[in-house]
Structure 1
Amino acid sequence: MTGTTRGPNDPRRRERILDAALDVIAEHGAIKVTFRKIAAAADVPLGSLTYYFDDMQHLLTEAFTRLAESVSTRYGALLAAAHTPEEAREAVVEIICGKVWGTDRNLLLSYELYAFAARHPELRTVMHSWMQASRTSLAAHFDPLTARALDALVEGFSIHNSVDPRPTDRADVAAIVGAVIDRPKSKD
Structure 2
Amino acid sequence: MTGSTRGPNDPRRRERILDAALDVIAEHGAIKVTFRKIASAAGVPLGSLTYYFDDMQHLLTEAFTRLAESVSVRYGALLEAARTPEEAQEAVVEIICGKVWGTDRNLLLSYELYAFAARHPELTEVLRSWMHASRQSLARHFDPLTARALDALVEGFSIHNSVDARPTERADVAAVVRAVATPRTPPDGASR
Structure 1 position 152, deviation (Å): 0.1
Q: How far apart are the structure 2 equivalents of 1:68 and 1:185?
A: 36
TM-score (norm. length: structure 2):
0.94
Alignment pair present for 1:43 and 2:43 = yes
Question: TM-score, normalized by length of structure 1?
Answer: 0.96
- Counterpart-to-counterpart distance in 1, 2:41 and 2:8: 18
Identity among equivalent positions (%) equals: 86
Moved over 2 A (4+): 3-6, 183-188
Matched, 1:179 2:183: no
Instruction: Provide the residue aligned with 2:153 in structure 1.
Output: 153
Q: Secondary structure at the match of 2:92?
A: helix
Cα RMSD (Å) of the superposition? 1.5
Asked if 1:53 is matched to 2:63, the reply is no
Cα distance, 1:183 vs structure 2: 4.8
Query: Gapped runs of 5+ residues in structure 1?
Result: none
Alignment partner of 1:92 is 2:92: yes
CA shift, 1:80, in A, is 0.3
Distance 1:26-1:177 versus aligned 2 partners, 3 A rule: same
Q: How does 1:7-86 map onto structure 2 within 5 Å?
A: 7-86=7-86
Cα distance 1:84–1:163, how it changes in 2: closer, same or farther (>3 A)? same
Larger Rg computed on CA atoms = 2
- Aligned pair 1:132/2:132, yes or no? yes
1:185 and 1:37 map into 2 onto residues whose CA distance is 57
Contact 1:30 1:116 in 2 (8 A): yes
Alpha-carbon distance between aligned partners in 2 of 1:81 and 1:5, rounded to the nearest angstrom? 45
| d(CA) in 2 for partners of 1:113, 1:7 | 34
Which moves more between the two structures, 178-187 or 141-150?
Answer: 178-187
- After TM superposition, give the deviation of residue 159 of structure 1 in Å: 0.1
Partners of 2:52 and 2:75 lie apart in 1 by 29
- Find the counterpart in structure 1 of residue 111 from structure 2: 111
Contact map agreement 1:150 1:177 (CA 8 A) in 2? yes
Q: 2:88 is paired with a residue of what secondary structure?
A: helix
Deviation, structure 1 residue 8: 4.7
For 1:114-137, what per-residue CA distance to the aligned partner results, in whole angstroms no more than 9, with x for missing partners?
Answer: 000000000000000000000000
Query: Residue 89 of structure 2: SS of its match in structure 1?
Result: helix
The one-letter code matched in structure 1 to 2:27 is E
For this pair of structures, how many residues does the alignment match?
186
- Residues 4 and 44, structure 1, Cα contact 8 Å, conserved in 2: no
Residues 22 and 109 in structure 1, CA contact (< 8 A), matched pair in contact too: yes
